[in-house]
């Protein structure tokens, strides 16, 4: 039997408590699987006195996570504090400086400092692993880094923020506007303290950038993820999209194109009857497309105590078993710097207009689209609503630039009663 | 840079050719990911002269796979011949006896000899890995063994034979009877030489037994998998099930119950709108349920050159990277022998009857069910069809034993014009 793996855990929120609970309850099972004991030696959090529903009395307490990270009696530092900088980063760096392996659930820290931290880890001969940072309980980092390592990956897609998916699902099923559902989600505790991280697509964008690095062998480049949140999605568009056979998702897409690496986390339309289109409530889904495997779809809970703890433990167990890999699958120094794609690949678009009810209004719109080389796949005009006529257009594949020019030109016609909405239709 | 990993490949069918093609085309990428070259040294197959679409001229040829397995100049033996015994088993044993790691896609061999081979591999300090044996391109073995290793698994479910799922989908969508679609599938080359392996559920049962071993820490026990094929599924039942909100799938279920390990590969009804119910054509899906992760769903192509080669390469790359695990996740000697469950857990059942159009016929049926303690959730009687009246019953949860008794008693009433059909409704 190998010597025990000794853990220090910093951050005792829901996930930290979940990890401790499993280590306490299932010690025998985990030892059978790893061939060694996994022991918690010390913990750290902001508030020592809070009741977390787990017994911490057997563990040393450190007020300072940096001090915890440097303790001689731990082998592995588990960082569950969150935040891209501050104590999480300081403690992670300290752990690596002391030759400790690190497991983290911190997508923000890795999306911004992942390359530097991975280099530091590899120089120190340490593991730095982050399964729990992406899509909660779905073992997507492992699937991509190891399970699909024989593939040239062509595209990664994902619904990776359960809160946004919950909001969009709830808007559709309850017929409630964004603001109301947003408030519901806040009341239910589904939103981060800064809700922009969720609804602005930032949190999901961090996750996408991490997966893109593994998939394409490139340095994490969160700064070049095109971000657009769900704040402007209306219930009208959700319902009209459904009429046309689509559902709106906050969808991450990363693909390597001839013009560079494209990374987007934006609202997209996907077919109602696709796995992504059918994904409801707070579930996450990641779609991995590779040269040999074809399309692999992974679905599961993207957050919560159990799922995230499951992912943290996956990394801990790998380390206990001696399964060691570079952070992003290949040595950090070998990751290339991707040229960001200047524009998204052409796609079909959903276009929703409100026109004044005047003769020739639709003709003006159609003419402008035609002049920009944008052809119309399907068009539907609805009956008058108050002062305007809703018109839906599904275009054939077009460049976003051409569409933007057309939309600018619409404004000059005087036929619009409202700002048009254009949403990309992702070919899933 | 580590020394190259030297491969011997036995079996040059679709999958073998696919593995070679990827190793030739993507050598640079694979070396970037593993830190070493992966080189094919020698190959073996029954027919040396067949054109496989890949250039084999740089590799040594062995007519005898056992000789290939023992060559001094290979580190890893890849077994892609198939068959539970014969050359595949002899060559695998020879490779292990010579201290070679082994990667195989052979579900039949492992379902029957997995425990003995895993013990041999571990005694020899060798890896014996089988990602490609289960669900093709879906990295389910890795997900379960590593990604979800922090969980007590409660249930594993899966549609793991694409041919059966194709047949059932095609029967439904084209309205064709089983025999016609079976012949189509045969003409398309979808069926094994012995089609019972597919449509009898044997192939999928092998896969289920392998996953159950990992999930529950038990020795593979294919002999106790309850097997029932799709041969008796009629288009009538497919359509009537749909009326009631269900779809028929050849579904594998493994769960550890208070009464022992339950393993079944049988036709089941699943809700139309569940991920399993929506799975169409030749796709595979595996559902993994654990104590912390909740429900994880994996979907992808279960067969074919690319997907299976992707899985083979996943194992090869693990070995190239030095990621080594026992065959079933924990040492083979530590796997327990599970007590097989004597009867399946209670479930709801779909019951389809054809009754003679006589007064009181339905009452007789209902009385018998009631006497067996089986209560009816929903019942639907259809109009006369020829000489009989179709009746559908969805029961509440019941024991299969009680249902079997009731069905036996139906026969004595003289009201049946046909044998009844009972299909378990799996709660997914």
Q: How confident is the model at residue B386 (pLDDT cuts 50, 70, 90)?
A: confident
Are residues A215 and A296 in contact, defined by beta-carbon separation less than 8 angstroms?
Answer: no
What would the mean pLDDT of A220-233 be, rounded to a whole number? 97
- SS3 assignment for chain A: CCCCEEEEEECCCHHHHHHHHHHHHCHHHHHHHHCCCEEEEEEECCCCCCCCCCCCCCCEEECCHHHHHCCCCCCEEEECCCCCCHHHHHHHHHHHHCCCEEEECCHHHHHHHHHHHHHHHHHCCCCEECHHHCCCCCCHHHHHHHHCCCCCEEEEEEECCHHHHHHHHHHHHHCCCHHHHHHHHHHCCCCCCCCHHHHCCHHHHHHHHHHHHHHHCECCCHHHCEECCCCCCCHHHHHHHHHCCEEEEEEEEEEEECCEEEEEEEEEEEECCCCCCCCCCCEEEEEEEECCCEEEEEEEECCCHHHHHHHHHHHHHHHHCCCCCCCCCCCHHHCECCCECCCCCCEEEEEEEEEECCCCHHHHHHHHHHHCCCCEEEEEECCCECCEEEEEEEECCECHHHHHHHHHHHHHHCCECCCCEEEEECCC
The answer to whether residue B309 sits within a structural domain is no
In a mutagenesis test of the B interface, which of A139, A152, A329 is the best target, namely the one with the most B β-carbons within 10 Å? A139
Query: Count of alpha carbons within 13 Å of A419, Cβ hemisphere only?
Result: 6
Of B50, B207, B242, B397, the active-site residue reads: B207
Name the residue of chain B whose CA is nearest to A328's CA. B33
The answer to whether residue B271 sits within a structural domain is yes
Same domain, A93 and A173: no
Domain count, chain B: 3
Using alpha carbons, select from A357, A359, A350, A353 the residue that is nearest to residue A411: A353
Percent of chain A residues past pLDDT 70, beyond the cut: 100
The residues, any chain, with a CB within 8 Å of residue A315's CB and separated by 6 or more, are A103, A127, A129, A130, A131, A132
Same domain, A145 and A230: yes
Verify whether the Cβ–Cβ distance B294 to A306 is below 8 Å: yes
Looking at residue B25, its pLDDT comes to: 98
Q: Summarize pLDDT for B10-40 with one digit per residue, the tens.
A: 999 999 999 999 999 999 999 999 999 999 9
CATH of residue B362: 3.30.70.260
Element (H, E) at B361: helix B361-371
Verify whether the Cβ–Cβ distance B152 to A331 is below 8 Å: no
Same domain, B210 and B264: yes
C-alpha span between B377 and B349 (Å, rounded): 10
Q: How confident is the model at residue A384 (pLDDT cuts 50, 70, 90)?
A: confident
Asked which of A301, A335, A359 is the last residue of a domain, the reply is A301
Same domain, A32 and A87: yes
Residue A35: its chain B contacts at CB < 8 A? 330-331
Closest CB from A32, A290, A306 relative to B334: A32
What would the mean pLDDT of B264-281 be, rounded to a whole number? 97
Verify whether the Cβ–Cβ distance A150 to B318 is below 8 Å: no
Residue B139: its chain A contacts at CB < 8 A? 142-143, 146-148, 296
Asked which of B104, B125, B149 is the last residue of a domain, the reply is B104
Same domain, A54 and A178: no
User: Residue A71: which domain range?
Assistant: 5-104
The pTM for the full model equals: 0.97
Residue B151: its chain A contacts at CB < 8 A? 310
Lowest mean pLDDT among A197-211, B95-109, B179-193: B179-193
What would the mean pLDDT of B57-76 be, rounded to a whole number? 98
What are B144's two structure tokens?
Answer: 């379960």
Taking 80 as the threshold, does the pLDDT of residue A374 lie above it? Answer: yes
Looking at residue A358, its pLDDT comes to: 87
Determine the 3-state secondary structure of B98 from DSSP.
coil
Verify whether the Cβ–Cβ distance A297 to B299 is below 8 Å: yes
Strand-pairing partners, residue B425, are: B269, B348
Verify whether the Cβ–Cβ distance B298 to A301 is below 8 Å: no
C-alpha span between B308 and B28 (Å, rounded): 21
- For residue B339, the distance in angstroms to the closest alpha carbon of chain A comes to 19
Residue A146: its chain B contacts at CB < 8 A? 139, 142, 146, 314, 317-318, 323
C-alpha span between B162 and B327 (Å, rounded): 25
Same domain, A223 and A84: no
Looking at residue B358, its pLDDT comes to: 87
Residue B196's CB: how many other CB atoms inside 10 A? 13
C-alpha span between B346 and B356 (Å, rounded): 30
Residue A345's CB: how many other CB atoms inside 10 A? 19
Tell me what ipTM this predicted complex has: 0.97
What would the mean pLDDT of A205-228 be, rounded to a whole number? 98
The answer to whether residue B92 sits within a structural domain is yes
C-alpha span between B247 and B249 (Å, rounded): 6
Asked which of A234, A268, A301 is the last residue of a domain, the reply is A301
Longest dimension (CA), chain A: 84
Tell me B242's DSSP state.
H
What would the mean pLDDT of A136-142 be, rounded to a whole number? 97
Name the residue of chain A whose CA is nearest to B313's CA. A150
Taking 90 as the threshold, does the pLDDT of residue B383 lie above it? Answer: no
Residue B287: its chain A contacts at CB < 8 A? none
Taking 90 as the threshold, does the pLDDT of residue A356 lie above it? Answer: yes
Same domain, B251 and B386: no
Q: What is the mean pLDDT of chain A?
A: 96
The answer to whether residue B363 sits within a structural domain is yes
What would the mean pLDDT of B267-284 be, rounded to a whole number? 96
Verify whether the Cβ–Cβ distance B150 to A275 is below 8 Å: no
B207 assigned to active site: yes
Percent of chain B residues past pLDDT 70, beyond the cut: 100
- For residue A197, the distance in angstroms to the closest alpha carbon of chain B comes to 24
C-alpha span between A121 and B289 (Å, rounded): 33
> Could you tell me how far CA B425 lies from the centroid of its own chain?
19
The answer to whether residue A111 sits within a structural domain is no
Name the residue of chain A whose CA is nearest to B291's CA. A306
Radius of gyration (C-alpha) of chain B in whole angstroms: 24
Q: How confident is the model at residue A48 (pLDDT cuts 50, 70, 90)?
A: very high
Same domain, B291 and B421: no
Residue B302: its chain A contacts at CB < 8 A? none
DSSP alpha helix (H) spans, B83-161: 86-97, 107-123, 140-142
Taking 90 as the threshold, does the pLDDT of residue A1 lie above it? Answer: no
The answer to whether residue A119 sits within a structural domain is no
Using alpha carbons, select from A236, A71, A255 the residue that is nearest to residue A155: A255
Looking at residue B65, its pLDDT comes to: 98
Which CA distances in Å does A351 have to A114, A244, A374, A419?
Answer: 38, 11, 12, 11
The answer to whether residue B25 sits within a structural domain is yes
Q: Summarize pLDDT for B115-153 with one digit per residue, the tens.
A: 999 999 999 999 999 999 999 999 999 999 999 999 999
CATH of residue B19: 3.40.50.720
Which CA distances in Å does B338 have to A54, A109, B209?
Answer: 32, 45, 12
Looking at residue B2, its pLDDT comes to: 87
Which CA distances in Å does A31 have to A27, B106, B110, B163?
Answer: 6, 29, 25, 39
- For residue B271, the distance in angstroms to the closest alpha carbon of chain A comes to 14
- Positions of A marked catalytic: 207
In a mutagenesis test of the B interface, which of A34, A292, A329, A335 is the best target, namely the one with the most B β-carbons within 10 Å? A292
Same domain, A255 and A396: no
Closest CB from A292, A310, A313 relative to B307: A292
Percent of chain A residues past pLDDT 90, beyond the cut: 95
- CA B226-B231-B237 angle, to 5 degrees, is 100
Q: Summarize pLDDT for B408-427 with one digit per residue, the tens.
A: 999 999 999 999 999 999 99
The answer to whether residue B49 sits within a structural domain is yes
Are residues B201 and B161 in contact, defined by beta-carbon separation less than 8 angstroms?
Answer: yes
- For residue A257, the distance in angstroms to the closest alpha carbon of chain B comes to 17
Per-residue burial over B370-392, b = 16 or more CB atoms within 10 Å of its CB, e = otherwise: eebebeeeeeeeeeeeeebbbbb
What would the mean pLDDT of A126-152 be, rounded to a whole number? 98
Per-residue burial over B283-309, b = 16 or more CB atoms within 10 Å of its CB, e = otherwise: bbbbbbbbbbbbbbbbbbbbbbbbbbb
Same domain, B154 and B294: yes
Verify whether the Cβ–Cβ distance B293 to A310 is below 8 Å: yes
Residue A149: its chain B contacts at CB < 8 A? 30, 33-34, 313-314, 317
C-alpha span between A70 and A67 (Å, rounded): 5
CATH of residue B212: 3.30.360.10
Same domain, A77 and A175: no
CB pairs under 8 A between A and B: 187
Element (H, E) at B364: helix B361-371
Taking 80 as the threshold, does the pLDDT of residue B173 lie above it? Answer: yes
Q: How confident is the model at residue A357 (pLDDT cuts 50, 70, 90)?
A: confident
Same domain, B33 and B180: no
Strand-pairing partners, residue A102, are: A77, A128
């Amino acid at each position: 039997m190998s010597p025990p793996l000794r853990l220090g855990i910093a951050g005792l929120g829901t996930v930290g408590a979940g990890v401790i609970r499993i280590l306490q309850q299932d010690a025998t099972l985990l030892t059978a699987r790893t061939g060694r004991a996994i022991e918690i030696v010390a913990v750290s959090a902001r508030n020592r006195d809070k009741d977390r529903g787990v017994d911490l009395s057997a563990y040393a307490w450190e007020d300072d996570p940096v001090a915890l990270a440097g303790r001689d009696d731990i082998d592995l530092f588990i960082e569950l504090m969150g935040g891209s900088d501050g104590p999480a980063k300081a403690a992670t760096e300290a752990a690596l400086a002391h030759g400790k392996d690190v497991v983290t659930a911190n997508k923000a820290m890795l999306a911004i400092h992942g390359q530097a931290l991975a280099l530091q880890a590899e120089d120190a001969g340490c593991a730095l692993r982050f399964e729990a940072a992406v899509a909660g309980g779905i073992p997507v980092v492992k699937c991509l880094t190891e399970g699909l390592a024989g593939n040239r990956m062509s595209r990664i897609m994902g619904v990776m923020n359960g809160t946004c998916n919950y909001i969009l699902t709830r808007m559709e099923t309850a017929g409630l506007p964004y603001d109301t559902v947003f408030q519901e989600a806040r009341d239910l505790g589904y939103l981060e303290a800064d809700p922009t991280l969720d609804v602005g697509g930032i949190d999901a964008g961090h996750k996408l950038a991490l997966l893109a690095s593994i998939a394409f062998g490139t340095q994490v480049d969160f700064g070049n993820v095109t971000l657009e949140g769900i704040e402007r999605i209306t219930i009208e568009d959700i319902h009209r999209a459904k009429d046309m056979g689509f559902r709106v998702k906050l969808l991450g897409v990363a693909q390597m194109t001839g013009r560079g690496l494209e990374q987007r986390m934006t609202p997209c339309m996907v077919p109602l009857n696709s796995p992504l289109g059918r994904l409801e409530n707070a579930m996450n889904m990641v779609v991995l497309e590779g040269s040999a495997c074809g399309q692999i779809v992974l679905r599961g809970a993207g957050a919560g105590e159990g799922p995230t703890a499951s992912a943290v433990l996956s990394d801990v167990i790998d380390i206990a078993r001696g399964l060691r890999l570079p952070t992003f699958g290949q040595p950090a120094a070998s990751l290339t710097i991707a040229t960001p794609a200047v524009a998204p690949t052409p796609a079909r678009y959903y276009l929703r207009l409100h026109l004044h009810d005047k003769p020739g209004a639709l003709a003006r719109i159609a003419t402008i689209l035609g002049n920009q080389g944008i052809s119309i796949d399907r068009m539907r005009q609805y009956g008058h609503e108050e002062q305007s006529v809703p018109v839906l257009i599904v275009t054939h594949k077009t460049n976003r630039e051409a569409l933007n020019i057309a939309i600018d030109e619409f404004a000059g016609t005087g036929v619009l009663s409202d700002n048009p909405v254009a949403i990309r239709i992702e070919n899933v």
